[in-house]
Amino acid sequence: MVKMSIGAAISETFAFLKANWVQMLMWIGGTIVVLGILGYLMLGSTLASMAMAPNDPSAMMGAMSRIFLFAIIAAVILYAVGMLIWRGGLHPGESPNIGWAFQAGPAFALATMVVMFAAYILVIVISLVLALLFGAALGGAGAFSPGALQSGAVGGGVLFVLVAYYIAILVFFVWLQSRLSVAGPVMAERLTRNPVTGITESWKLTSASQWLSVLFYILLVIASVVYSLIAGMIFSGIIGALAGGGSGVGAMLAMIVMGLVVYLPMLTVSLSVPVGIYRANTRGTT
């Protein structure tokens, strides 16, 4: 079992990005434009009706259903494009297999959501059990209420445990994401539509370097937050000018510009990271 290093993961990530940045810009840039137009067509009037009737429950439910539908369509397209990028980068010169990508991508997205949902349920159950146990010791579940925390009724030791527990939850989900991180590249490498194959192989490949993967993802999140903040401050005036005036076309253009300027670089890197981890974990293997 190969144990990766963070240096190798970074090197492989940017090597993949360097070799495939033109194709990635074309696929992801085109996808952002398509999703921007689709979002305007699906949600433009919906958001306007919400703004005109903020207290209308029927308008709110209708808007949420359309937003949920758009989110599903966007996820299907993005995951399919991700599969095309991974396959094209791992097998240069091969013609894009769009039919396979639009089957493998949604299957991978659904499997990932199922795993994450199961993890959320597990965390909720553990949290409820711990709340009952510690709540009984501290005089009831009300000991963890916001009022009790603000009033100082809860001691510093308990607050420390709560903060440590929330940090542990965050680390758990980053760890889980890192263990699933190379499932997509595995599916692309093997040209399979079965997400179980990708997930099980990802679990095996990352077992020897799981905590290094966690650290790598934490560094990536920090870099992404810093970049988004800086890019947002630089381009917020331009985007605000495009979106101002209540024009639907202006709002659509603002969405597209935001996507191209802020999210396009982040997406290119985030799609390169799984391949970087995959290659760093498979060096020297056959």
pLDDT in tens, 47-68: 666 666 666 667 667 677 788 8
Q: Which positions ≥6 away from 233 have C-beta within 8 Å?
A: none
pLDDT score of 202 more than 70 = yes
Residues of the chain with pLDDT > 90, as a percent, come to 34
pLDDT band at 151 (very low <50, low <70, confident <90, very high): low
Q: Which positions ≥6 away from 20 have C-beta within 8 Å?
A: 85, 88, 89, 272
- Name which residue leads in pLDDT, 94 or 131: 94
Percent of the chain as helix, strand, coil, to the nearest 5: 85, 0, 15
Q: What is the DSSP string of 56-116?
A: -HHHHHHHHHHHHHHHHHHHHHHHHHHHHHHHHHHSTTPPP-HHHHHHHHHHHHHHHHHHH
pLDDT score of 35 more than 80 = yes
Mean pLDDT of 175-187: 93
Mean pLDDT of 234-253: 59
